[in-house]
Structure formats: structure tokens, C-alpha cells
Amino acid sequence: MLTQKQRALYDYLRHYIEAHEYAPTITELRDHFGLASNFAIQKRLKALEQKGYITFDRSNTARNIRLTGVSGESVTLSVVGTVTAGVPIEAVEIPEPVEVPRHLLRGADNFALRVKGDSMLDANIEDGDIIIVKSQPKANHGQIVVATINGEATVKKLDIGGPQIYLQPCNLAKQYEPIPIHPDDDFEIKGIVVGLLRQYG
């Protein structure tokens, strides 16, 4: 179990390494956390090493911190709103913390949304589920995306296999209609769905 300061340091290390593909130096860590000397940072790093969260690469003295990929860890994301799995509706900002297993995340820029509707049942996305979304402006054919169309948000499967782009529902029983994307639509991909949380009972 990490202390609050150790958790802050570990989260910063993880985000930094994901963004830069190398670790920060001790001096950079000291400056980021506003400390007067290196000792406090080195003490926290030693605690992370003892708890199995990081190791030190002895061949690189400047940027020698390595994450160990501890399994079973979770992070807190904010559920930033509700997105429809039916007819598009506006995503409303309703911050709500949720614990997310780290293995569901992809990189550093993830967010969570609560699903409303049942148009994605055949993709195993049900009404009330929380989806984990990797923020990115592009997606590939067949990926499940969160997108906005003329200011309204929805979660659908992206269909770019032909001349017309569609957002496809995944519920054969309900027979929801695909949503065509026209050139004059204000269309934007917000991210791809990378994980899902569901509460039972």
C-alpha cells in the first residue's frame, strides 16, 4: 500500500515515462514536487523500490528509474459524464471518481463515461456500464468509439469500410439505425473504448 506522497510520485513517473519514453532525472523530480533537496525524492523512490513498483537500471545513472508493471493496481479516473448507446444525446459533465484496474488503461490520457441505452448490447456494453476511453482523434474501421455529432455524444462501432462513414449500433434485436456521417456534419472522434466496468446487483 502506497502513502499519498508515494502514490503521487508513482503516478507522475508513470505519466512521464508514457509521454517521453524515458524516466525523469532526480533533479526533475525534485523540481516538480517543489523540494529543496534530492534526499526526500530519493527516500520515496527507495520506498517504491522496496514495495516492488520500480527498479533502477544500473547502466544508466541519469534516467535509471524503471517501472516494474505491478499487476492488480488500480487508479482513480473521473466519470466525466453520460454517453448514449442509443440516439445521440449531449454528454453532461458529472465528475464522479471510479477505481479502474491499471491493465484497462492505454497510455496516460484516459477518461470514463457512463453508458445510457442498449444499442451496444452485442458489443457487451449495457445500460449503466462505465466505459474506459483512450482519448485520441482517430480510430480504425471496426473500433468502438466515443464520438460527437453536431454537439451530441454517442458510443458506436466505427464503419469506414466504404465510401460512406457510419457509426454502427451493435444490437440486432432492437434494430437501431446506423448513423451516417455527412460532410457538413460537425463530427469528431473523442476516443476509442478500451475497457469496461460493470456493477452487479
**Which residues participate in catalysis according to the annotation?**
119, 156
Q: Give the span between the Cα atoms of 148 and 154, in whole angstroms.
A: 6
Contact 65, 21 (CB under 8 A): no
Residues 37 and 35: their CA atoms lie apart, in Å, by: 6
Q: How far apart are CA 41 and CA 62, in angstroms?
A: 14
Interhelix angle 39-50/4-20, nearest 10 degrees: 90
Backbone angles phi and psi of 20, in degrees to 5: -110, -15
105: nearest Cα among 135, 147, 65: 135
